[in-house]
Amino acid sequence: MSAVPAYAGPFGKEQAERLYWRAGFGPREGDAERLAKLGVTGAVRWFTRPAAEQLLGPDPHVENGLPLAPADAVGHDHLWWLDRMVRSTTPLVERMTLVWHDWFATSNLGVGQQGLMLNQNQLFRQNALGSFATLLQGVTTDPAMLVWLNGNQNVKGHPNENYGREMMELFTLGADRGAYTETDVREQARALTGWKGSVTQGVPSAFTYDPTRHDATAKTIFGQAGTFDWTDSCRLCLAHPLHPSFFVQKLWSYFVAGPMDKTTAQGLQALYAGRQVLPVLEAILQHPQLYEGARLMKPPVVYNAGLLRMRGRWIDTAVWWTLGQSAGQQLFYPPDVSGWDDTRWLDTATYRARWFIAALVQGASSPPSSPADPGELVQRSLQYWGFPTVSARTQGSLAAFAKAQLARKAAPADVETAIRRLIATSPDLQTA
């Protein structure tokens, strides 16, 4: 069995910050320094083996102090989850909940019932770090998924292939790898028959398994014959020889930039022998490439939650969900069943939304007084964000900007306000 390489380099504030952003939603002031004292193994286990969750700070609200209504009000589902990202003391659980939301992408645009989406979200949270087999079974029979991919319309005599196809292509085996055939798609659809339930005018009916709707005749899936049902569909996908390689590669892609080497791939697949997520995830979070490799663009909600955490601000306005939408990521509304495309987070429109996210976190107030010294203005602005790691090149560019503005007789307080926003939208804070 190949051992997965483990990071053995320095683990200071900069490395701890990267881990905080990859495994959570960024550090609050002082968090990275405290995490660094644990060393890489201790730091990873702080995320992967957390104490019981607490939600810090005040309950979320919108304008005029009104509480959230996530099951009813438009956009409040996004606000409710963003609040958990900001306040939770178990950030990796929330980050993995986001991973599963993208992995098993389901949109309320097709489901039409926020309550069902919130229930699915809780399913992801409960299985965030546990058994992928349990998670797959739960998703397969989840009412939101049954509506989204027409599992509730899949009956004997008229099989619907949507879920059976996506279960193999997107959830367990991958496309264009020779893992399955069109015959397997049709046979999986037959095996998955039997579930019923619906959402009519926003009201869900009971989602149950009805044996009379199930095709109980023989099927052949992946060359194996049997009178398979939905549990067999899940089992056969997980037992497929190409499932482990698909799983570790897809999970890796959420946390590390670039492909993994052969030794890493073999080692991670060996750790996944029991279909448990935690051993694989811990190995990924300790891998040298996470700390020494290329930076990753922060998804919009991660960026949004992180800035709020840096400033110690809570959910107090409904604007966050519209800004998330403009930035390209409205929670509970992925663009399609394949989820969000992490390679397309930035364009001229979405960057503008990120600028407004930074502006709203910062607020309208300017510093009461500011020094007329470029270097000091930069340091005061870094202090405002809790002294995040910002490269010397970026700091030099900010100092040059400050010097130019002061030469034009701009007010030092206005220059400091601008530098704060430039830090928040710099490549250093857009990526980790």
How deeply is 401 buried, as exposed, middle or buried, from its count of CB atoms within 10 A (0-12, 13-18, 19+)?
A: middle
- Separation CA 270–CA 265 (nearest Å): 9
Question: Whole-number mean pLDDT of the chain?
Answer: 97
How far apart CA 53 and CA 85 sit, in angstroms, is: 12
Q: Taking residues 150-157, what's their average pLDDT?
A: 97
- How would DSSP label each residue in 383-416? HHTT-----HHHHHHHHHHHHHHHHTT--HHHHH
C-alpha span between 285 and 297 (Å, rounded): 17
Mean pLDDT of 210-234: 98
Single-letter code of the amino acid located at 408: R
Cβ atoms < 10 Å from Cβ of 400: 12
The span from the CA of 101 to the CA of 303, in Å, is: 17
In this structure, what are the phi and psi dihedrals at residue 370, rounded to the nearest 5 degrees?
-140, 145
The whole-number average pLDDT for the span 48-66 is 96
Q: Is the pLDDT of residue 1 over 70?
A: no
Of 321, 313, 375, 378, the residue nearest 75 (C-alpha): 321
Question: Are 23 and 255 in contact, with CB atoms under 8 Å apart?
Answer: yes
221 strand-pairing partners: 224
Helices assigned H by DSSP within 71-161: 76-87, 91-103, 108-111, 114-126, 132-140, 143-148
- What mean pLDDT do residues 212-238 have? 98
Burial track 179-216 (b if 16+ CB lie within 10 A, e otherwise): bbeeebbbbbbbbbbbbbbbbeeeebeebeeeeebbbe
Is the pLDDT confidence value at 116 over 90? yes
DSSP tag of 286: T
pTM over 0.95? The answer is: yes
How far is residue 171's CA from residue 232's CA, in Å, rounded to a whole number?
A: 15
- Percent of the chain predicted with pLDDT > 90: 97
- Tens digit of each residue's pLDDT (9 = 90 or more) over 286-302: 999 999 999 999 999 99
DSSP 169-231: IIIIS-SSSSS--HHHHHHHHHHTTTEE--EETTEE---EE-GGGS--S-EEETTEEE---HH
**Model confidence pLDDT, tens digit, residues 3-43:** 999 999 999 999 999 999 999 999 999 999 999 999 999 99
Distance CA 81, CA 94 (A): 9
The band of 368, judged by pLDDT with boundaries at 50, 70 and 90, is confident
Tens digit of each residue's pLDDT (9 = 90 or more) over 94-106: 999 999 999 999 9
